[in-house]
Structure formats: C-alpha cells, structure tokens
C-alpha cells in the first residue's frame, strides 16, 4: 500500500497531519498536568479544610483557658479519604502548642488573617507534606486572640490523584488522535483512489500510445500535472511523428542516388573499359559527395526539430566574421561555375545572439543554394546591414529565382520546385527556416530590384537580453 512507503503522497499527508496533532498533544499534556495538579490540590485542600473545621469545633474556653477536645472524625476524615499519614497541631495565641505535633511547620510567610486559612507545602521529617493553617477566633478566652489550627498530610495520594487525572485525560486524547489518524488514513486512501486508477491506466497502455490522459475524475489539484503530462506527450508524439516522416523521406531520397551509383558501377564492370571505369568513378565520387551532403543535412534536420531547439546554446556571435569565414569555403565552388562571390560588410561589426554552428550552417546553405541554382557566370552577393536597427543578413543571386506560388512550399522538407534542372536534396531552405525559428528570427524571400534572381533576407536578433515571451517567426 502507498501509505507504507516513506516517499508516498499518502504517507506524507498523513505524517503532516499527525505530527502537528502529536505536538499539540504534548502541549496539551503540559497544560493538562497543571490542571490535574491544581484539581488534586483543590480536592485535598478541601479535605484538609474540613478536618481543620472539625478540630475548630472542638476548641472551647474552660476555666479561663483554651481547651481542645479533638473529635475522632477530624482525623478519620483525612485517613479514610487520603490513606496517608496525617499530622495536626493547635497553637494558642501565645504560640504554645495546645495539642498535636510541636514541630509541625507554621506558615513561613505573613501570619494567617483571622478567620481565614492558607495552604502551603513544607519539608517535614524527610518528605514533602501539604499543610493547611486555619485561624479560629475563640471568644471568651483571655486574651482574645485567634487559635491557629494546622492540619497536614503526606502527598502520595495527592500525587496519585493528579497522575490519574492526567493519564485518564491523555489516554482519551491519545485514543482520539489514533481514531483521527485511522479516519484520515482511510479518507486519504479513498481520496487517492483516482490516482491509483490513473497509474493503472497509464501502465496498461501500449508503448506507442501517446494519446492524452483523460483528467475526468481526477482532483483539480492534480489536473495541472495531467495537463503538463498531456502537453509533454503531445510534444513527444509530434517529435516521433516528425522523426518518422524524416526517416521515411530520407530513405526515399537516399535510395535514388544509391541506385544510380550501383547501376553505374555494374555498367562499368560489364563493359570492362578503363576509360569508362574512370568516368564511372568520377560520377560515383560526385554521387558519394551528394549523398554525404544529404546525410549531413538529414542529421542536422533531425537536430533542428522545433521541440528540441531549446537545447541549442545561445551566445553573442560576430556575424561579419562568421559570414566571411563561411564565404571563403565556397570560393572554389563559385569559381567552378565562373561566378562572382562577394561580401558587403556593414560599417560596424554585426554581433547577434545565436549559436555559431547553426548560423554557419544557415549561411552555408544559403550560399550553396545561390551557387547551385544561380546563373552560370553570374554573381552571388552576401550583404550585412541593419534594417530598422536590427541586423539583417541578405544573400542575393541572379539566377531564375523562385516563383511566388512556390515560395511557401520551398521551406518544406525534400521539396523541389517543378522543372528544376539542378539536383538537390530539398533540405537546404527547410534547414534555414528551422535555424531561424531557433534564433527567433524572420526569413523573407524577395525578388531583387533588378527583377532577376532571388534575395533571401534574414532578420536576426541583436546581441543583448532577449524578451522572455518573444516568438520565432519565419515567413
């Protein structure tokens, strides 16, 4: 059962309910002890007072002096009720003991007022006794002065009574707390039943079942957790679906170049012509390069899934230096197509917030696309500037461009515009879009002012603190 486990919710709730109750029981025990002692003292003081009154009734004046006729019932009252050793003393106005124990202590404080009594404790014959002193006015005596009557008893019965009162009270309260604990445990057991049903329903699911959990019948305090789990499972489901689509698309895209290379190699083996074998090797090498590029893009695309973009490290990046380093890597490729590759830097260094590796991949994909799809012998311009105060990266070519009707589609994975004469994976702009999303940036596809080619503009975030609620945008 859950309550038997120290880390269970039921055990924690029960513990936090019972521990304060036990602390209250301890506090109440202290007060109950005081009350029990006071009650026992009051009861026995009344017995002492009754005994003193009985003794006082036997005091009278005889032959001009004070005589004490000690009633049997006076001490019998104490002995029968207290079952303790009792002591008494009657002191004359002049301080002489008329009867009783001469060494029985008198009140140590101020004298007892006439016709009044005072209760006190003292050490007598090696033990603590409780005493009551009563002043009794005896009329007819000479001189007229009160007689002090002291009655005392040992405290065993008094202490036993106070303990009995305390134990009885604490026993009732302990049983009450025990009953409360059992009732609370039962209530928690019933109250947490929906969680156990939820646990059973989740554990009985198929591993591939990521459908939302039904929160009906669950306490409202737990529903935010259910909603968070549903949100997370939705993200996981989207991620798995995205990965599955990527794998299916990737397998389809990789099957074609692999089949082409296999056919070329088989044809070369069948012909057994050295010059043909060399041409086949060159074509195969080019196919391997394209396949390697495709695999690299597929792996990057998998990393750039929107649900895992938060794992990327963001830091200030010098975009001017990054663009220059990336452009230098494509100079040779541009020359092979007799293209002019240029970089127009901003007057001031452009520093943006981002991930340097991803931004390098973004620039590389745009330059690679511009060179691949641009006009042979044409030009590719890389520009860094500011538009409205924000950094802007622009890469422009003078190729055939992209029709307006196709510009929204080119961001889809493995999409290639109809009639395209250049081979490619169709992942370049999809990767660029996802990197823009990761950097809360905006991408635009425009037609240059010359009316020829394509200009890709990326609006990036200036280096500095970013708003927490900013939303990525790609258009």
Q: How many domains does the chain have?
A: 3
467 has a pLDDT exceeding 50: no
Among the residue ranges 109-118, 142-151, 209-218, 252-261, the one predicted with the least confidence is 252-261
- Please indicate, yes or no, if residue 123 is contained in any of the structural domains: yes
The CA-based dihedral angle spanning residues 460, 464, 466, 472, taken in that order and rounded to the nearest 10 degrees = 10
**Three-state secondary-structure class, residue 257:** helix
Domain finish residue from 137, 163, 189: 163
Same domain, 67 and 126: yes
Q: Is residue 216 part of a domain?
A: no
Asked whether the CA dihedral 153, 159, 161, 165 is positive or negative, the reply is positive
Residue that is last in its domain, among 303, 322, 338:
303
Helix, strand counts (H, E) of the chain: 10, 14
Token pair of 215 as six digits: 């929160």
Read off the pLDDT of residues 420-438 as tens digits, 9 standing for 90 and up.
555 555 677 877 888 888 7
What pLDDT is recorded for position 107?
A: 86
Confidence band for 457, pLDDT divided at 50, 70 and 90: very high
In a domain? residue 178: no
**pLDDT at residue 82 tops 60:** no
Same-domain status, 259 and 326: no
Residues 6+ apart with CB under 8 A from 406: 417, 418
Same domain, 322 and 452: yes
Q: Which two tokens stand for residue 190?
A: 């019933």
pLDDT of residue 77: 59
Residue 162: HSE in the Cβ half-sphere, 13 Å Cα cutoff? 19
The whole-number pLDDT of residue 346 equals 82
Say if 432 falls within a structural domain. yes
What is the structure's pLDDT at 74?
65
Average pLDDT of the segment spanning 338-352: 88
pLDDT, residue 5, reads: 57
Residue 334 and residue 446 share a domain: yes
pLDDT for the residue 381: 93
Q: What percent of the chain has pLDDT over 90?
A: 9
- Residue 240's domain is classified under what CATH number? 1.10.287
Which phi and psi (to 5°) does residue 350 adopt?
A: -100, 110
> How do residues 127-155 score in pLDDT, each as one tens digit?
888 889 988 877 766 556 688 889 988 87
Average pLDDT of every residue of the chain: 78
Q: How many residues does the chain have?
A: 475
Alpha-helix runs per DSSP H in 304-373: 319-328, 331-336, 356-373
The predicted pLDDT at position 422 comes to 55
Q: Same domain for 293 and 321?
A: no
Between 181 and 394, the higher pLDDT residue: 394
Residues pairing with 146 in the sheet = 137
Strands (E), 355-459: 379-387, 390-397, 442-446, 454-459
Does 209 or 330 have the greater pLDDT score?
330
Give me the domain span that covers residue 66: 9-163
CATH assignment of the domain containing 382? 3.30.565.10
Whether omega before 143 lies within 30 degrees of 0, making that bond cis, reads yes
Asked if residue 44 is part of any domain, the answer here is yes
Tens digit of each residue's pLDDT (9 = 90 or more) over 6-32: 567 777 777 788 888 888 888 888 888
Domain assignment present for residue 473? The answer is: no
Neighbour tally for 263: CB within 10 Å: 11
Q: Is the pLDDT of residue 161 over 60?
A: yes
**Nearest CA-CA partner of 152 in 226, 52, 264, 291:** 52
- β-pairing, 59-62 with 315-318? unpaired
Tell me if 3 sits within 8 A of 18, measured CB to CB. Answer: no
Is residue 263 in some structural domain?
yes
pLDDT (average), residues 334-354: 88
Are 230 and 127 members of one domain? Answer: no
One domain, residues 70 and 131: yes
Structure tokens at 90: 């009657």
- Let me know: does 389 contact 463? Beta carbons within 8 Å: no
447 found inside a domain = yes
CA angle, 354 then 360 then 362, to 5°: 85
Query: What ranges in 58-155 are assigned the alpha helix state H?
Result: 72-82
**Contact indicator for 121, 45 with CB cutoff of 8 Å:** no
The verdict on 293 and 396 lying in the same domain is no
Give 194-222 pLDDT, tens digit per residue: 777 777 888 888 877 888 888 777 777 77
Q: Does 414 share its domain with 453?
A: yes
Question: At 327, is the pLDDT very low, low, confident or very high (cuts 50, 70, 90)?
Answer: very high
Residue 372's CB: how many other CB atoms inside 10 A?
Answer: 16
pTM above 0.85, yes or no: no
- In terms of domains, do 260 and 406 share one? no
Domain end position, chosen among 242, 269, 303: 303
* Angle between helix 9-57 and helix 72-82 axes, rounded to 10 deg: 170
Same domain flag for 135 and 72: yes
- Domain match, 282 and 382 both: no
Beta-carbon contacts of residue 359 (< 8 Å; ≥ 6 apart): 317, 319, 322, 352, 435, 439
Q: What is the predicted pLDDT for the residue at 80?
A: 55
Instruction: Indicate the pLDDT class of residue 471, thresholds 50, 70 and 90.
Output: very low
pLDDT at 303: 63
């Amino acid at each position: 059962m859950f309550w038997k486990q120290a880390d269970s919710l039921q055990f924690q709730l029960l513990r936090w309910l019972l521990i304060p109750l036990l602390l209250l029981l301890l506090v109440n025990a202290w007060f109950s002890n005081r009350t029990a002692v006071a009650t026992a003292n009051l009861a026995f003081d009344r017995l002492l007072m009754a005994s003193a009154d009985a003794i006082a009734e036997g005091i009278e004046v005889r032959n001009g002096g004070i005589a004490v006729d000690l009633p049997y019932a006076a001490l019998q009252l104490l002995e029968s009720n207290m079952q303790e050793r009792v002591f008494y003393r009657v002191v004359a106005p002049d301080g002489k003991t008329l009867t009783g124990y001469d060494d029985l202590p008198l009140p140590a404080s101020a004298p007892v007022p006439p016709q009044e009594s005072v209760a006190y404790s003292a050490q007598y014959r090696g033990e603590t006794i409780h005493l009551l002193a009563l002043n009794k006015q005896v009329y007819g005596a000479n001189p007229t002065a009160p007689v002090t009557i002291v009655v005392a008893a040992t405290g065993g019965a008094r202490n036993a009574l106070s303990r009995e009162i305390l134990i009885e009270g604490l026993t009732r309260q302990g049983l009450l707390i025990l009953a409360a604990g059992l009732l609370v445990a039962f209530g928690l057991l019933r109250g947490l039943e929906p969680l156990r049903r939820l646990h059973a329903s989740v554990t009985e699911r198929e591993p591939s079942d990521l459908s939302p959990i039904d929160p009906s019948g669950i306490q409202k305090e737990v529903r935010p957790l259910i909603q968070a789990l549903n949100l997370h499972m939705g993200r996981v489901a989207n991620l798995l679906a995205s990965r599955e689509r990527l794998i299916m698309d990737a397998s389809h895209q990789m099957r074609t170049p692999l089949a082409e290379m296999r056919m070329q190699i088989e044809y070369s083996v069948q012909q057994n012509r050295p010059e043909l074998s060399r041409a086949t090797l060159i074509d195969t090498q080019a196919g391997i390069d394209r396949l390697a590029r495709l695999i690299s893009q597929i792996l990057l695309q998998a990393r750039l899934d929107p649900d895992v973009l938060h794992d990327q490290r963001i830091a200030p990046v010098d975009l001017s230096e990054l663009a220059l380093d990336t452009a230098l890597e494509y100079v040779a490729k541009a020359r092979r197509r007799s293209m002019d590759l240029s970089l127009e830097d901003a007057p001031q260094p452009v520093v943006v917030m981002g991930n340097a590796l991803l931004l390098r991949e973004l620039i590389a994909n745009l330059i690679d696309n511009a060179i691949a799809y641009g006009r042979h012998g044409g030009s590719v311009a890389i520009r860094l500037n500011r538009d409205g105060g924000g950094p802007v990266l622009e890469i422009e070519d003078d190729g055939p461009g992209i029709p307006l009707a196709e510009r929204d589609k080119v961001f889809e994975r493995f999409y290639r515009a109809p009639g395209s004469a250049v081979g490619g994976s169709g992942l370049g702009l999809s990767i660029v879009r996802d990197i823009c999303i990761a950097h809360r940036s905006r991408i635009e596809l425009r037609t240059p002012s010359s009316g020829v080619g394509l200009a890709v503009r990326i609006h990036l975030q200036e280096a500095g603190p970013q708003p927490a609620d900013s939303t990525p945008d790609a258009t």
